[in-house]
Amino acid sequence: MKILKFGGTSVGSVENVRRIGEIVLNQHDKIIVVVSALGGVTDQLLAVAQQAASGVKINGELVSIRTRHEDLIKGLFNEEDSIKTIQALQPLFDELEKIVQGVTLIGELTPKTLDKILGFGERLSSILISRFLNVQLIDSLAVIRTDRNFGKANVDFERTYKLISEACASVVQFAVAPGFISSAPDGSMTTLGRGGSDYTAALFAAAVHATQLEIWTDVDGFMTADPRVISKAYTIPMLTYSEAMELSHFGAKVIYPPTILPVYQKSIPIHIKNTLNPDGDGTLICQSEANTKDHPIKGISSISGISLFTIQGLGMVGVTGISMRLFGALAKEEINVILISQASSENSISFAIDSHFADTARDAISLEFEREIASGRISKLNCESELSILAIVGENMKHSAGIAGKLFHTIGKNGINVVAIAQGASEQNISWVVKNSDLRKTLNVVHEAFFLSPYVELNIFLVGIGTVGRDLLSQISRQQNKLKKDHRLKLKLAGVANSRKMIFDREGIDLSTLKDAISQSEAKSDLNVFCQTMVEMNMFNSVFVDCTADAKVADHYLFVLENYISIVAANKVAASSEYSRYRALKEMAAKHGVKFLFETNVGAGLPLISTINDLMRSGDRIVRIEAVLSGTLNYIFNTLSKDIPFSKAVRMAKEIGYSEPDPRIDLSGIDVIRKLVILARESGYKIEKEEVINNSFIPDKYFNSSIDEFWNTIGEMDEVFEKQRVVLEEGKQKWRFVGVMDQGKASVSLQIVDPGHPFYDLEGSNNIILLTSERYNEFPMLIKGYGAGAAVTAAGVFADLIKVSNI
C-alpha cells in the first residue's frame, strides 16, 4: 500500500484535480489519498473566526469559501453530479455558518472552537475529491486520536495506528482521507498544527506499513537553496531523514517537520513530487545513501525575521541552572528557540528566536533574572534584530575535513559579517547568523562555493566603454560559452557606465543590446552614485572594472575595496600616484581579501607585473629593469621614414589607437615614467614619479600649449628628426625610448641602439623588458610582445578578471 498526500495548490483548480485523478488512477498499488484544504481556504477560515470574535460581519468570506468549492465542483462534474456533490457539502456549510454565528454572538473564540472552524477546509475537500475519484472516504476524525492540546494536538500513536489499520483493511483499491484534523478522547475535534496534512499522511503510512509515502506539492522537491533567491538552485535527488529534518527546521518549507518521525521509525521512504510536473524525479527521503564525498553539502536553508538575544555577565560563570532558567522562562511563553550559541567560558549565551516574540522574550528574561541584573551579576541583555539564520546541511560533512574553514573563508572574503555560529556534535549542519541585508549575497556565495552551482559567477561593474571597454565586452561575449563549459565560469555584466549614462541589472545586462540599453537609460552617469549603487546591490563575487584613463574614477578605488569588491584596472593613475596612496590600496585589498589587479597598466597584455610578483613571492629580488614600455613611441620611431615625417607618425599613432587621447602624454615620457614607477613599486622599491629623471626629447613649449596649438606646430620637429634619422639609417642604428630602474634609481631617455642590442629588433608597437634579479643576474629575463592596442589591452583586463574568479 502507498500513501499519497496532495497539498492545497494541488486541489485548488479543475486542471490540478484532474491531474490528481490521472496520478491516482494510474497506480497499481492500494492507495490512500490524503488531501489538504483548497489552497488558501485555511487562511480564509482563520480570518472568518477572528473577525467573528471581533464582531465583524463575515458573510462575504463565507460566501467566497462556498463559491470556490461550488465553482470547482461545476468544473469537475456533469450537472447532475454537481448538484449531488454540492448537496453533500451543504450540511458542512450550514454547520460552519452556525458555529461562526455563535462566535459572533458571544464575542469569544476558544482554541477548541478555532480548531473546529479550521478543520472544515479538509472536511470539504476530502468529500469533493472522494466523489470525483468515486472512491471510499475514510474519516480522519474517527481514526486519529490525540490529546486536547488544541491547535497542535499530540498524537496517541498506539491507538491511532490501530484505528487506521482497521479502517484501511476494508479498502479495495483507493480511498481518500482528510488531512490536518483529528479528535480527542471526548470526541472534540483537534488539529495537528500548520502543515498537519503531511503529518496525517505519515501517520497513515506508518500505520499500514506503506511501501512509500508520496507528498505531492507545487515544487519539484527539496532544492539546494531557495530558487526565489538562487536562480541556479536545483532539485536534490536524495536526502536522508536527518538531512530533510534539518533543512525543514531551517526554513525549507517543502515538508512539515513532524511528518518525518513516524515514517522514519518504520523506515518508509518519502518521495516529494510536483503535481504540476508529475514526470519530474522529485526528492527521495530514505534511511541512508551511499557515502559520497563529492557533495558533502546537500543544501542551504535560511530563515529571515530573526532576533538574536545575548545574555552576558561574569556572575554566570560556574553557576548551575542558568541555562535551565533561561530556556524555561522562554518555554513558559511558548517561544521556540531556533539557534543557541554559548561561550566556552560560560559568561554569555546567545540564542535566536522569531522576531515577533522579541518583546515577550525580553520581558520574560528580565523577570526571571531580575535579581541578577539588579546586582550586576548579569551585566548585559542585548537584542539584535533584522537578522537571518542560514544552515548548510549534509550527513557527509562529518567525513570531509575543512568544511567550516571553507565556509567562513568564502563568507568573509565577500565582506559578510557573521553575527553568531552554531554547530552540533553530529556535524550534520553548520548554522550561522547574518544581517537580513546580507542574506541573498550569503546564499549565493555559499551555494557557489560548495559546487551546488553549475558554475562560478562573476558580477562585473564596468566603467568606460571606449575602445578598450568595447573590445573587452566583445571578448567576453565570444568566450562566454567556452568559459562556462571548460572552466565553470560565468561573467555577468551587472552595471555599466560611460561618460553620459549608466545602467544596472542584477540579472545581467544583455551584451548584444547594451548599446541601445545604455542610450535609452534615464540615469545620468555619476561615479558616486555608480559606486554606491554597486555596493547597495550587495552582489557576491563583484568586481569593479576601470577601462578609463580618468583620475576621478581612480579616486573611488579605496571606497570600492573597503566594501569587499575587487578591482581590475586598465587605468594606471592609481598605481602610479603617490606611493602612500598606492600602498593604501594594496593594503586595503589584502586586508579585505579582495584583488586589486592592474596588469595592463604596463605592457598592455604582456605578463610583466605578474612575472615580477611571482619572482618576488618566490624569494627573488629585482635589482635592475631596462625596458621599452611605450608601444606608442616605439611605433612612432619604427614608422619614421623618408616619406613619413615625425608629425605624421604621431598622428598615425593616435588614429590607430596606440597613443593616449592626448599624445603629448606619450611624447613627454610621462606615460613611460608612470609604467616604470609601477614596475619599480611592484619590485619592492618605494619611489615617486617626481624622482624619475626625465630626459625629454621634445622641447617643453609643445607641452605648455593647447592641444590644438600642439597639432599646428609639431611639424616644426619634422626636419630635426629627419636629419637624425638619416644619420641613424646610415649607421644601421635605431631609436628606442628606454626606461631604466637600477636599485631604486630611475630614469627615462631616448637612446640609440646598435644591431646587437636586445632592443634593436622591436617591431611596430611592441614592448620589451629585461629583468635582472639575484637569480637572473648574468642572463636577464626577457619578455617581449605587443605593448599597445585596444585588443591586447582588453585581453589583459580579461585575464585579470579570470584571476579574480580564482578558477
517 residue type, one letter: A
β-strand partners of 283: 272
789 residue type, one letter: G
Three cell numbers written together for 162: 490501530
- Is residue 1 a contact partner of residue 29, using CB atoms and an 8 Å limit? yes
> Choosing from 675, 686, 732, 803, which is the catalytic residue?
675
Handedness of CA 245, 250, 252, 255 (dihedral sign): positive
Q: Report the chain's terminal Cα–Cα distance, integer Å.
A: 50
Three cell numbers written together for 246: 534539518
Which of 34-61 are b and which e, b meaning 16 or more Cβ less than 10 Å from the residue's Cβ? bbbbbbebbebbeebbebbbeeeebeeb
Burial class (CB in 10 A: 0-12, 13-18, 19+), 93: middle
Quote helix, strand, coil % in the chain, to nearest 5.
45, 20, 35
d(CA 181, CA 161): 15
**What is the total residue count of the chain?**
807
Among 713, 715, 634, CA closest to 671:
634
Helix ranges (DSSP H) in 239-369: 241-249, 260-265, 322-332, 358-368
Which of 749-761 are b and which e, b meaning 16 or more Cβ less than 10 Å from the residue's Cβ? bbbebeeeebbee
d(CA 260, CA 44): 28
Three cell numbers written together for 592: 579585505
373 residue type, one letter: I
d(CA 576, CA 678): 6
441 counts as catalytic: no
> In this structure, how many other beta carbons lie within 10 angstroms of the beta carbon of residue 551?
11
> In this structure, how many other beta carbons lie within 10 angstroms of the beta carbon of residue 467?
15
Q: Which residues lie closer than 8 Å to 119 by C-beta, 6 or more apart?
A: 178, 180, 181, 189, 191
d(CA 340, CA 319): 18
647 residue type, one letter: S
Among 475, 773, 737, 777, CA closest to 611:
773
* SS3 call for 243: helix
287 phi and psi angles, rounded to 5 deg: -65, -50
Give, as one character, the DSSP assignment of residue 777: S
- Is residue 309 a contact partner of residue 350, using CB atoms and an 8 Å limit? yes
319 phi and psi angles, rounded to 5 deg: -90, 120
> In this structure, how many other beta carbons lie within 10 angstroms of the beta carbon of residue 796?
29
Among 73, 69, 65, CA closest to 100:
65
d(CA 15, CA 678): 68
Helix 439-449 with 403-413: angle, nearest 10 deg: 130
Among 444, 459, 457, 456, CA closest to 493:
459
What residues act catalytically? 675
